[in-house]
Amino acid sequence: MRVMSTSIKSYAARFVLLGAVGAMTACSPAPPATGINDPWEASNRRMHAFNKSVDRNILGPAGGSYVTVLPEPVVTTVGNFAGNLATPSVVVNNVLQADARGAFTNSFRFVLNTTLGMGGLFDVATMAGINEVETDFGETLHVWGAGEGNYVELPVLGPSTERDAVGRIVDLFTNPLGYVLSEPEKYAGPVASVAKRLGDRGRYSQTVGSVLHESADSYAQGRSTYLQNRRYQLGGGAAATGDPYDDPYAATGDPYDDPYLQ
Amino acid sequence: MTTRISNELTRRALLMTGSAFALLSPAPAVALTNAAARGLVDDLVGEINRVIARGGSLPGMIRDFEKIFARYADVAIIARSTLGPDARRASPAQMRAFVEAFRGYIARKYGKRFQEFVGGRIEVQGVRQVKTWHEVISTAYLRGEAPFEVKFLVSDRSGRNLFFDMVIEGISMRLSEKTEIGAMLDANRGDIDRLIADLRRAG
């Protein structure tokens, strides 16, 4: 018990510190990024080749057999369990972003799923129409005013940006459960999340396969997809290769000037 | 005090009557186009929902998707835009062949994915005008997944109301295909005829 309260204290201290860092940086969200900032393309492409081989040889087959060996409800249950254990980390980020509504929604989801959902095995909150307000420390940095930085391809994890890569590292430590749970239990979350990742790889095999192994240039395709989706999550309208609204037809100017009016 | 309250009430009542009339009276030009854009996507979504409710074989679904795509999408402008500036140096015959090949490619590529949607549905939520086109916002509900947003960008600049992009959770089909077609063209060292030949086999 004493050990537990010390670790809660140290956890709280870390976040007061982080909050102070946040307060020091200009507290308005960074303007939405546009275009592709990829000065490390050469080394990113080498990392991409490595990730592709990991996917082809390990992740793909493992994910595939994971979803074929285990019945679908089991895969879903493991996913729910991992998602629920990760929720406190999401709440921490909601709080750091001063998103009271998100923090409340996610806390409520955590309580519902942990109790009625039998420790998170069932996602009763989603069934009741209470969807997760997803976020992460990368978004927290964005809310605090940090720009996206350069594009990076991370080992195994894949597409990211400098800001989001920092976010992923910090998020290894933002889950309060990691501080309050004791020895074997504290590994439940990370283990379940690895299993969830395999399940997702198996379940979305066609999507992943089509981007990673069927694209003419899977590196460029992965980069474009990631940046478009990430900027959308962070509330920016601009897509990776320019705002589709502004510039649907790129160098040819207005979409309809060229083909229809000539 | 009383006057202020009753003024407030009158104003609110007026506003409400006003908006009620706005709903009843013939809509102005912009609203009409909004309604037309929404109507197009309502029809489109209706057809997609019928296909994913029916299920069936993969070749059948690809055929269904190709028909839907040809009827509701501005295939020519989507295809042309994925070529980018290279579209300018294509001859009219090359352009025709490219658009044709592109249509088949999209049908195969996305028709395959329709199988994952079986049992799901799409619901149109709203529409708004953006610059010269209209954005129809819808939500996709797929089995075992949190609902996500799908936007259709509709324009009448072709002479008909057609969609020229589909944006799923921020990911634009047109921009993604532009990356893809660009990479294929690079792989063929800029040769448009060889790109067309590749496209006929791809997807």
Residues of B in contact with A225 (CB under 8 A): 171, 176
Q: Which amino acid is at A93?
A: N
Alpha-carbon separation of residue B49 from A146, B44, B58, B134, B141 (angstroms): 41, 9, 16, 22, 11
Q: Please indicate whether, in this complex, the C-beta atoms of B81 and A255 are within 8 angstroms of each other.
A: yes
Contacts of A229 in chain B (CB under 8 A): 169-171
φ/ψ region of B102 (left if φ > 0, alpha if ψ in -120 to 50, else beta) reads alpha
Which tokens is A250 given? 């790129």
| CB-based contact A186:A25 (threshold 8 Å) | no
The shortest CB-CB distance from B84 to any of A225, A239, A251 is to A251
Is A207 in Cβ contact with B81 (below 8 Å)? no
Cα–Cα distances in angstroms (integers) from residue B172 to residues B44, B94, B166, in the given order? 18, 25, 6
Please enumerate in sequence order all residues whose Cβ is within 8 A of that of A35, keeping only pairs 6 or more positions apart, or say none: A240, A241, A242
Q: What is the nearest CA distance from A36 to chain B, expressed in angstroms?
A: 12
Residue A2 has pLDDT above 70, yes or no: no
Is the alpha carbon torsion for A121, A117, A135, B114 positive or negative? positive
- The distance of B29 to chain A (nearest Cα, Å) reads 20
Query: For residue A245, which of B167, B48, B73, B40 has the smallest C-alpha distance?
Result: B167
> For residue A36, how many other CB atoms are within 10 A of its CB?
15
- Selecting from B76, B109, B153 the residue whose C-beta is nearest the C-beta of A259 gives B76
State whether residue B119 sits within 8 Å of chain A by CB.
no
Q: Check residue A134 and give its pLDDT.
A: 92
A25-82 pLDDT, tens digit each: 556 788 777 788 999 999 999 999 999 999 999 999 999 999 889 988 898 999 999 9
Whether the CB of B86 is below 8 Å from some CB of chain A: the reply is: no
pLDDT in tens, B115-165: 777 788 889 999 988 877 888 999 998 877 778 899 999 988 888 899 999
CATH 3.40.50.720 fits domain B30-201: no
pLDDT in tens, A89-121: 999 999 999 999 999 999 999 999 999 999 999
DSSP B122-151: EEEEEEEEETTEEEEEEEEE-TTS--EEEE
Q: Do A256 and B81 touch (CB under 8 A)?
A: no
**Model pLDDT, residue A8:** 59
User: What is the per-residue pLDDT for A202?
Assistant: 84
Residues of A in contact with B157 (CB under 8 A): 255-256, 260
DSSP per-residue string spanning B43-68: HHHHHHHHHHHH---HHHHHHHHHHH
